[in-house]
Structure 1
Amino acid sequence: MKMQPTRRHFLKGLGLAVALPAMESLMPGTAQAATAAKTATTAAGDPLRSAFLYVPNGVNVEKWFPTGTGKDYKLNATMQPLEGLRGDFQVVSGLAHQHGFAGKDGAGDHARAHASFLTGARPKKTAGSDIEVGISIDQEMAKSLGHETRLPSLELSCDGARKSGSCDSGYSCAYQFNLSWRSPNTPMAAESNPRLVFERLFGRGNGDERQRNFDQRMAERRSVLDFVMGETKTMSKQLGRNDVKKLDEYLTGVREIEQRIQNAEKFRDLPEAAMDAPSGIPKEYADHMRLMFDLLALSFQTDSTRVASFMLAHDGSNRSFREIGVSEGHHSLSHHKNEKETLEKIAKVDHFYVTQLAYFLEKLKSLKDPSGASVLDNSMIVYGSGLCDGNRHNHDNLPVILAGKGGGTFETGRHVQLDVKQRTPMSNLFVTMMDRMGIREPEFGDSTGPLTVI
C-alpha cells in the first residue's frame, strides 16, 4: 500500500530538522481526501484556529458601536481602520458578563472584568493565595486540541506577569494580570518578551543550532524527570499516610510535565522562522504589540498551536499614549464623567488599539492555507473588553469584534445586534466556538446555550 507523504517524512528526506507552513500535499488529510470531521480542522482539511484578544477599560460608546444592523451597517469612527476588512469580521453587540457586576462583592470591576472575560465565572474576592475563578475558554479548548500541535496553547501579553498581591479593591493581582486560566486556581502566565516567545516557537540560536539546543534541552528534562520519578518511588515506601497524599499531589504535577515533554518530542521538528529573533521588548508600545502579533501569526501559519490569548493590556491599565497626543493615563480617562474632551481622548485610544487589530488581521489574511483559503478565513479571532463604558463600569453590551470566517462557518461583513436587555452571556459565543472546533460541550461558564446568530 502506498503511504501518503507527511511533512515529517518530507523533511527527513531533505535531511532537515525544521517544519514548514502547512502544505496540501504534505497534510495527513488533504482537501481532496477530507473525510470525518476532526477537532480544530476545517471541512477542507485546513487547521482551524482560535485567538482571544483583550483590551482594557471599556470604550467611548458613542464612537464605537456601528449604526445599522446586518450587512447594511456603517462603521463608527473607532473602527475606521477596519473598513478595508469589513468582509472579514462581524461586530457582535449585546453580549454580557454577568459575573463582572458587583453583586455582593462591592468594588473591583476591573478585576472582575478581566477575570470573567474568558472564564464566564465570578472570581472569589481575595487578595491572598486562595484565588478561584474558572478555567478559561482557551484552556478548555487546549485540553481537547493540545495533542494536535507542538504547543497546546500560546499566552501573550504586553504587560508583566503578576500572580500575587492586592490590586483592585481587595482582589488579587492574579485576576487582573492573567487572561488565561488552566484551572480555577491556576493562571497561565503570559509571556511579554518577544524574544522568549520566538525561542519557544522556533528554538534558541540560529539555523541548525536551534534544533540541537532543543534536542539537548529535551534530553536534559527527560533525564531529570527520570531521576525524580526514581527517587520518589523509593521515598514513598518510607512515608506516612498524610505525606503519601502530598507526594501523590506532587507526582500529579510531575506527570503533567512528562506529558508536555512527550508532546514536545512528538513535534520535535522545529518550525522554520520567517523572521529574525527579536532582540527584546521594543520601546514603542505599538511596535511591541505588532511584533507579538507577528509571532502569533507565525504560530498559526506553522501550525505550532491552534489556540492563543493575547492581553494587549490589563484592565485598569493607566498607560498613557503620548505617541497619539494623549498624555493622561487610560484608566484615569475612562472615568470621563461625560466630559467631551476626555471622551475624545478615549476615542483616540480606542482607535489606536483597533489600528493594531487591523494590522494583525491583514497579516493573517496575507497567509494562505493548503486549500487556498487564508489563515484569517480559517480562524476565529475574538477582540473585546470586559467593560463597556469605563465610567459606568457596566459589563453588558460589551464591545466585541469576531473576526475570521471560522473555516467558512461564520457569516461575516455584518453587525449582529442582540437584545441588550437580555444580557446574552458571552459564554454562549464560546460554546459555539468550541462546537466549530469539534469540541461537543453543551455549556461553558455561565452559558445558556450556543450563540446561533453568528
Structure 2
Amino acid sequence: MSSKKQGSKRTGKTAMNRRMFLGVTGGVAAAAALGPSLARAQGGTAPKRLVVIFTPDGTLHNEWRPTGSKTDFTLPSILAPFESLRDDMIVLDGIDNRIYGKGDGDAHQQGMTQMLTGRPNTTKSATSTGMSVDEYIHQHISDGRPALRVAVGTNPNYISNWTRMTFDQNGSAIHPRTSPYQARDAMFPSTFDPTGGGGGSSAGADRARAVREGVLGTATARLHAMASQLRGVDRQRIASHAGSLENLAKLETMGTVAPSTDLVPLYDRIKNWTPNLVASPSKQADFPKIARMQMELISAAFAFDRSRVAVLQFSESNSGIKHTWAGAPSDKTHHGLSHDGNNTQLLKIYRWYSQQIAWFINDLKTNGLLDNTVVLWMTDMQTGENHKETTVPMTIFGGANHLQTGRYMNYRSSGGVAHNSVLTSLCNAMGLSDTKFGARDDGPLSGVT
C-alpha cells in the first residue's frame, strides 16, 4: 500500500477561499444559539434502526468459528464476549464477496468499497458504482433524520479506497465523523432538552426557529454553489459541509421521542465526556476512549430518535493501529501482525474488538433498543494475511421482531452465499420488500427469518 496521500493542487479560481468559507458558516453558529425549537413527537411504535460496525483485516477463523449445530453451538475465543448475548445473535459463516475481481485495486481496496455496496468500485479512488446499503436504508426509514456515521482512528483527510466504505446514490464516498464531539454537537444542538421541556411554540420560539432555518438554508445553498467551482478534495469537503448543514436543518423540523426522564442519563453521559480527546493514525492512545464515546453517541441518538441509521468504522482497511491497550506489541500495527502470522497477538486484538462491540450491544439491550435495531458486524476480507474474498466473517445482532436469532448459520457446507444476500436481508429486516441489493440477484439469506 502506498503511503502517499491524496490531494488536489489548488490555484486560481478553483482554490478554496477560507474567508468565503468562514463567511458562509459563521452565521450558522449564531443561529444555533437563538433559542429552543425541537418539536416533540407523539409516542408510538418503536422505529426500526440499523447499525453497521466495521473492524478491519478479517479474523482468525479457528478462534472465531463456532462449533456445533444451528441452534446448539459453542462460541470460540473471539466470540466468547458475546456469551450472554448468544440468543440475540446470528453468526454468518460462509459469506463470500462475489463482486471481488470486478472492481479496482487490491483486496483491501475492493473489500472496503464493496462490502456495503454489493457493487464494483471504480478506477477513481473512493467511488462506487452505486450507493451502500446503509444509505439506501437511510433514505427509506429515517423520515428526515440524519444518518450518524462515525469513525475511530482514521485520518479524515485521507480519502481513498482503503478508508471509505459508505457511498451515496451517485457512488460518491460519504465521510464519517472522526470527532465524537463534532458528531454529538451536530446530532444534539445546544437547544436540545432531554426532558422534553423548553420546546414551546410561542411566537418568539417560532421566530427563532424560522431565523435558524433561514440561515441554514442560505448557508447550504452558498456552499453548494461554492462546491460547483472547486475540484477534487476541496469539492468533496465543501459538499460534506453542505450535507452537514442540511442535516442540521432537518433536525430543526423533526420530532424527537416522547419526553422521558429515564433517557436523561444517556444524554448526560455524552454531555459529560472528557474534552479534547483525539484518535488518529498518528495519535492512538485515546483510541479506546474515542471508541466508547462513539458507541455512547449512537445509543443516545437512537434512544432519543435523533437518528435511525448509524455506521461505526474502527480504523480502516490495512489498519495501522497499534493495539497496545489490548496487550499487542507497540512496534507492530494490526495489519503488520496479520502478515507476520502472529496469531497470539492478533487474537488479543480481535478479542478486544469483540469486547467493545459486546459492550455496545448490551448497552442497546439494556436501554430497550436492541429488538428494533439490527446490528451488522462486518469486515473487509477473510484474513489480513491471505487477503481472500471468501468466507468473510459477519455477525448480526438484534432485530428479534424480524430475525430468528440465537443461530449459527454455516453456509460453507452448501458452497457459501454471496454477501449481497446479507445486504438484501438487512433491507428486509428494515421493512423493505427488496429481493436483491447491489449487482447480484441472489435473494435474501435463507434460514434467518
Q: What TM-score bracket applies, with the shorter chain setting the length?
A: 0.7 to 0.9
Give the deviation of 1:258 after TM superposition: 9.4
* Pair 1:203 & 2:201 matched: no
2:130 and 2:170 in contact (8 A); partners too: yes
- Per-residue CA deviation, residues 203-259 of structure 1 (Å, 9 max, x unaligned), is 148969x98998764331234468899x99xxxxxxxxxxxxxxxxxxx99998997
* Pair 1:433 & 2:426 matched: yes
Counterpart of 2:287? 285
Counterpart of 1:144? 140
Q: 1:185 to 1:228 in 2, by over 3 A?
A: closer
The letter of the residue matching 2:337 is: L
Give the deviation of 1:176 after TM superposition: 1.8
Tell me how far apart the structure 1 counterparts of residues 103 and 247 of structure 2 sit (CA, whole Å).
40
Aligned with 1:392: secondary structure?
coil
Tell me how far apart the structure 1 counterparts of residues 79 and 381 of structure 2 sit (CA, whole Å).
17
Aligned with 2:316: secondary structure?
coil
Aligned with 1:383: secondary structure?
strand
Q: 1:433 to 1:228 in 2, by over 3 A?
A: closer
1:150 and 1:266 in contact (8 A); partners too: no
Aligned with 1:308: secondary structure?
strand
Counterpart of 1:122? 120
The letter of the residue matching 1:108 is: D
Tell me how far apart the structure 1 counterparts of residues 129 and 353 of structure 2 sit (CA, whole Å).
27
Q: 1:257 to 1:281 in 2, by over 3 A?
A: closer
Give the deviation of 1:325 after TM superposition: 2.0
The alignment-based identity, stated in percent, is: 20
The equivalent position to 1:294 in structure 2, one of 293, 296, 303, is: 296
The letter of the residue matching 2:66 is: P
2:209 and 2:252 in contact (8 A); partners too: no
The letter of the residue matching 1:355 is: Q
Tell me how far apart the structure 1 counterparts of residues 103 and 52 of structure 2 sit (CA, whole Å).
29
Give the deviation of 1:197 after TM superposition: 1.1
RMSD in angstroms over aligned alpha carbons?
A: 3.5
2:38 and 2:253 in contact (8 A); partners too: no
Tell me how far apart the structure 2 counterparts of residues 255 and 320 of structure 1 sit (CA, whole Å).
34
Tell me how far apart the structure 1 counterparts of residues 244 and 276 of structure 2 sit (CA, whole Å).
27
- Per-residue CA deviation, residues 139-163 of structure 1 (Å, 9 max, x unaligned), is 01112223x2532x11110133557
Q: How does 1:389-400 map to 2 (within 5 A)?
A: 389-400=383-394
Aligned with 2:425: secondary structure?
helix
* Pair 1:362 & 2:362 matched: yes
Counterpart of 1:9? none
Counterpart of 1:183? 169
2:164 and 2:175 in contact (8 A); partners too: yes
Tell me how far apart the structure 1 counterparts of residues 102 and 254 of structure 2 sit (CA, whole Å).
46
* Pair 1:266 & 2:253 matched: yes
Counterpart of 2:130? 134
Q: 1:159 to 1:99 in 2, by over 3 A?
A: farther
Q: How does 1:58-137 map to 2 (within 5 A)?
A: 58-100=58-100, 102=101, 108-127=106-125, 131-137=127-133
Give the deviation of 1:263 after TM superposition: 3.1
The letter of the residue matching 2:334 is: H
Aligned with 1:187: secondary structure?
coil
Tell me how far apart the structure 1 counterparts of residues 441 and 315 of structure 2 sit (CA, whole Å).
26
2:59 and 2:393 in contact (8 A); partners too: yes
Aligned with 2:268: secondary structure?
coil
TM-score for both structures, normalised by structure 2: 0.74
TM-score for both structures, normalised by structure 1: 0.73
Give the deviation of 1:334 after TM superposition: 1.1
Give the deviation of 1:321 after TM superposition: 1.1
Tell me how far apart the structure 2 counterparts of residues 291 and 255 of structure 1 sit (CA, whole Å).
25
Counterpart of 2:13? none
Q: 1:261 to 1:200 in 2, by over 3 A?
A: closer
Tell me how far apart the structure 2 counterparts of residues 227 and 285 of structure 1 sit (CA, whole Å).
36
Give the deviation of 1:349 after TM superposition: 0.6
1:431 and 1:449 in contact (8 A); partners too: yes
Counterpart of 1:325? 327
Give the deviation of 1:98 after TM superposition: 1.8
Give the deviation of 1:174 after TM superposition: 2.4
The count of residues paired between Structure 1 and Structure 2 equals: 375
- Per-residue CA deviation, residues 52-88 of structure 1 (Å, 9 max, x unaligned), is 1000011111111111121210000111111111111
Tell me how far apart the structure 2 counterparts of residues 439 and 263 of structure 1 sit (CA, whole Å).
23
Tell me how far apart the structure 2 counterparts of residues 355 and 401 of structure 1 sit (CA, whole Å).
14
Q: 1:97 to 1:135 in 2, by over 3 A?
A: same
Tell me how far apart the structure 2 counterparts of residues 431 and 86 of structure 1 sit (CA, whole Å).
23
Give the deviation of 1:402 after TM superposition: 0.3
- Per-residue CA deviation, residues 308-343 of structure 1 (Å, 9 max, x unaligned), is 111111010121111222122100111144xxxx11
Q: 1:215 to 1:381 in 2, by over 3 A?
A: farther
Counterpart of 1:386? 380
2:91 and 2:396 in contact (8 A); partners too: yes
2:379 and 2:393 in contact (8 A); partners too: yes
- Per-residue CA deviation, residues 275-307 of structure 1 (Å, 9 max, x unaligned), is 315324354222111110000011111111111
The letter of the residue matching 1:329 is: T
Counterpart of 2:339? 335
The letter of the residue matching 2:115 is: F
2:103 and 2:120 in contact (8 A); partners too: no
The letter of the residue matching 1:346 is: L
Q: 1:62 to 1:214 in 2, by over 3 A?
A: farther
Q: 1:285 to 1:447 in 2, by over 3 A?
A: farther
Tell me how far apart the structure 1 counterparts of residues 346 and 210 of structure 2 sit (CA, whole Å).
48
1:50 and 1:307 in contact (8 A); partners too: yes
Tell me how far apart the structure 1 counterparts of residues 242 and 37 of structure 2 sit (CA, whole Å).
28
The equivalent position to 2:154 in structure 1, one of 152, 155, 160, is: 160
Q: 1:49 to 1:305 in 2, by over 3 A?
A: same
The letter of the residue matching 1:122 is: P
Q: How does 1:411-450 map to 2 (within 5 A)?
A: 411-419=404-412, 422-445=415-438, 446-450=440-444
Q: 1:269 to 1:402 in 2, by over 3 A?
A: closer
